[in-house]
């Protein structure tokens, strides 16, 4: 049984999700949380990962470490995305098994599901169709992680759970111009318009693709909730069950960040850029059946995220 004295290792504690899990564990009174910076432990090094887990023997592992990025990065650096993610997750999952660590959560992504999946997307739709081409390398790596957890559960009687979050945003996100995800990219663009007082907001694609969002504190809450929950399924979707067009989200971000002049800004579309998956909203009935649901308000979450952006991205003007 995992309790406040259990030793918990967070792989990827500096990232968007890992840092939120760390903060939430500390708030909930977990006293024995361990982590290592990248310069101390290279998760792509199988030997070092095994030695670290053997030496520290955590009771539970959160695998929040991954190479992640937006549509441009995923589409242009596929070799790095598939190799880095396969290496990181395989080293952690297999070393956990070898060290007798029975409990972990592997964080996947909603992009593991087929591009043209029926909506809302059920966990059972995995591998039922073709993936979105712009991020198939990343998705295949994540699918391999899911199947690895499933296989070890079947063969070795481990308790490896896979949470599939929808598009996640919040404090400590990546706002790089080319390598960020859709929503932090909208926040950065809106901020740049606010500073420059320009009147054009350029979106990639036609703005009609629909996306579901989850605030990272909700995802961290789900991680800790399911850490302690006995479940029979390996995969559980984590989302809000609501989706919005990218055009709507752009308007909401502008309205939140530039409340006094957002109506003067014209949204334009760069049709030379890809739209990505046309619609993506998760079926969250299974998570609800186990008693978990998202709580954060979208507009308040955007404000909190923007405050963190201003605090930690002073060089962006």
Per-residue burial over 198-208, b = 16 or more CB atoms within 10 Å of its CB, e = otherwise:
eeebebbbebe
Q: Which residue has 């500096």 as its token pair?
A: 14
Choose the catalytic residue: 9, 138, 215, 306.
138
Tell me if 281 sits within 8 A of 238, measured CB to CB. Answer: no
Please compute Rg for the chain using Cα positions: 19
d(CA 302, CA 241): 18
Distances (CA, A) of 282 to 35, 79, 210, 231, 249: 31, 28, 12, 19, 18
Residue 128, classed as helix, strand or coil, is coil
d(CA 124, CA 175): 33
Q: Within 10 Å of residue 3's Cβ, how many Cβ atoms?
A: 10
Picking from 101, 4, 112, the residue whose alpha carbon sits closest to that of residue 61 is: 101
The string of DSSP letters for 26-94 reads: HHTT---EE---TTT--TT-HHHHHHHHHHH--SEEEE-------HHHHHH-HHHHHHHHHHHHHHHHH
The verdict on whether 138 is a catalytic residue reads: yes
d(CA 11, CA 87): 13
Residues 6+ apart with CB under 8 A from 197: none
Which residues form the catalytic set? 138
């Amino acid at each position: 049984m995992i309790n406040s004295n259990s030793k918990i290792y967070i792989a990827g504690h500096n990232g968007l999700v890992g840092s939120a899990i760390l903060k939430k564990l500390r708030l909930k009174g977990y006293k024995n949380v361990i982590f290592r910076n990248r310069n101390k432990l290279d998760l792509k090094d199988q030997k070092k990962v095994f030695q670290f887990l053997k030496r520290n023997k955590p009771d539970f592992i959160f695998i929040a470490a991954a190479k992640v990025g937006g549509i441009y990065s995923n589409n242009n650096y596929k070799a790095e995305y598939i190799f880095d993610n396969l290496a990181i997750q395989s080293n952690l999952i297999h070393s956990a098994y070898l060290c007798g660590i029975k409990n972990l959560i592997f964080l996947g992504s909603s992009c593991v599901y087929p591009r043209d999946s029926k909506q809302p997307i059920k966990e059972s739709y995995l591998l039922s169709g073709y993936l979105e081409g712009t991020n198939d390398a990343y998705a295949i790596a994540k699918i391999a992680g899911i199947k690895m957890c499933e296989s070890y559960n079947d063969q070795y009687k481990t308790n490896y759970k896979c949470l599939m979050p929808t598009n996640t945003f919040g404090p400590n996100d990546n706002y790089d111009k080319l390598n960020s995800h859709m929503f932090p990219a909208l926040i950065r663009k809106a901020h740049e318009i606010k500073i420059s007082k320009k009147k054009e907001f350029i979106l990639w694609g036609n703005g009609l693709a629909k996306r579901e969002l989850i605030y990272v504190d909700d995802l961290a809450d789900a991680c800790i909730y399911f850490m302690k929950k006995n479940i029979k399924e390996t995969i559980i979707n984590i989302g809000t069950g609501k989706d919005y067009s990218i055009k709507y989200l752009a308007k909401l971000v502008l309205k939140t960040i530039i409340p006094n002049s957002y109506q003067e800004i014209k949204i334009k579309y760069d049709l030379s850029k890809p739209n990505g998956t046309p619609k993506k909203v998760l079926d969250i009935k299974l998570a609800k059946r186990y008693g978990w649901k998202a709580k954060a308000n979208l507009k308040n979450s955007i404000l909190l995220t923007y405050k963190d952006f201003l605090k930690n991205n002073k060089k962006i003007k």
